[in-house]
């Protein structure tokens, strides 16, 4: 286990460094932020002085080394627009994004798990067909379209929920449902296929022969073994949920780090964008590491280091 964790931590560092280098290179291709920071009538000398002040006159490898050495110390520089440490800006906006992602994850699992199990137990029935059709429709449904439809129905017409903002539990409902609908289809289909496969195993037949209640057979024996690939996929989907939060936060005016990143990209505020990308990459890689550890604890056959 220790060797595995050490190897995963090394991979974590390599992935984060690779993502930081890629984001750094892409940001410096999109344009010159000095053209946005200074008025158009500024002289050439003023442009050159400002580039030197921001360190943009240095070669790209030197600029990246300065960024990387500062990031290791938690110093991502200062925002060129807010004149505030970029790390502080991103950390202040991180909780709303994480809360929204976790809420969407819970909604998606609450929808996918029971429907997937029921569809597997009622295989080839009308319920199974409806669940499969709903899964296909959910996968084809754009996040922004669903968010806009929810706003029109529940905020504009029925006036039951706030259309945007952040604060109370009522603000969470529509954004969480939007993200949950993105996660639920693939998870439901995976649960269905996993339960169908497990229900044909010998130990399921043995449990039934011993007189174990059908509910216990499904929950304790079938679902426990079928949930391993589900946990793995949910861990991978966590990163996509963070990506989906960018669209969701934009639709619902959610004050999270995704909205901050989009605004910073538009303003070419390099320190804030780089800080947000690196922190989100660290969160995603750490979540995937935890998923691997949990899967190993659930199933002794695939214990790490076995």
Residue 151 lies in a domain: yes
pLDDT in tens, 158-199: 888 888 888 788 888 999 998 888 888 888 888 888 888 887
Residue 7 lies in a domain: no
Residue 24 lies in a domain: no
Residue 262 lies in a domain: yes
Model-wide pTM > 0.85: no
Residue 200 lies in a domain: yes
Residue 11 lies in a domain: no
Q: What is residue 299's predicted lDDT score, i.e. its pLDDT?
A: 64
Tell me the C-alpha distance between 218 and 160, whole Å: 38
Structural domain boundaries, residue 159: 91-271
107 vs 83, 115, 148, 184, CA distance in Å?
A: 38, 13, 18, 8
CB 131 within 8 A of CB 119: yes
Q: What is residue 55's predicted lDDT score, i.e. its pLDDT?
A: 75
For the chain, how many structural domains are there in total? 1
236 vs 105, 149, 200, 229, 232, CA distance in Å?
A: 12, 27, 28, 11, 6
Give the CATH number of the domain where residue 224 resides.
1.10.3720.10
Structure tokens at 251: 């639709």
Of 76-85, 174-183, 187-196, 216-225, the poorest mean pLDDT is in 216-225
pLDDT in tens, 136-147: 887 788 888 888
Q: What is residue 60's predicted lDDT score, i.e. its pLDDT?
A: 80
Residue 156 lies in a domain: yes
Residue 31 lies in a domain: no
pLDDT greater than 50 at residue 306: no
């Amino acid at each position: 286990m220790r060797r595995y964790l050490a190897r995963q931590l090394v991979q974590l560092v390599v992935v984060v460094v690779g993502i930081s280098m890629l984001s750094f290179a892409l940001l410096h291709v999109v344009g010159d932020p000095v053209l946005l920071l200074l008025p158009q009538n500024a002289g050439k000398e003023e442009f050159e002085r400002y580039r030197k002040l921001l360190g943009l006159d240095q070669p790209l490898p030197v600029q990246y080394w300065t960024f990387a050495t500062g990031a290791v110390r938690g110093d991502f520089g200062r925002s060129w627009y807010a004149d505030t440490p970029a790390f502080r800006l991103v950390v202040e906006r991180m909780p709303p994004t994480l809360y929204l992602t976790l809420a969407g994850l819970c909604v998606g699992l609450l929808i996918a798990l029971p429907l997937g199990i029921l569809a597997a137990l009622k295989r080839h029935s009308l319920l199974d067909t409806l669940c499969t059709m709903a899964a296909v429709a959910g996968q084809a449904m754009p996040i922004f379209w669903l968010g806009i439809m929810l706003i029109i129905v529940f905020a504009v017409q029925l006036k039951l929920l706030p259309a945007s903002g952040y604060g109370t539990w009522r603000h969470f409902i529509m954004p969480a449902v939007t993200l949950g609908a993105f996660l639920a289809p693939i998870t439901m289909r995976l649960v269905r296929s996993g339960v169908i496969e497990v229900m044909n195993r010998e130990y399921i037949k043995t449990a039934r022969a011993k007189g174990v209640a059908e509910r216990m057979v499904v929950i304790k024996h079938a679902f426990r073994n079928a949930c391993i690939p589900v946990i793995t996929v949910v861990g991978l989907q966590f990163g996509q949920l963070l990506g989906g939060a960018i669209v969701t936060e934009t639709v619902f005016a959610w004050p999270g780090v995704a909205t901050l990143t989009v605004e910073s990209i538009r303003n070419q505020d390099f320190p804030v964008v780089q800080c947000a990308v690196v922190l989100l990459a660290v969160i995603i890689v750490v979540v995937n590491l935890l998923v691997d550890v949990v899967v190993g604890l659930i199933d002794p056959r695939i214990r790490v280091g076995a």
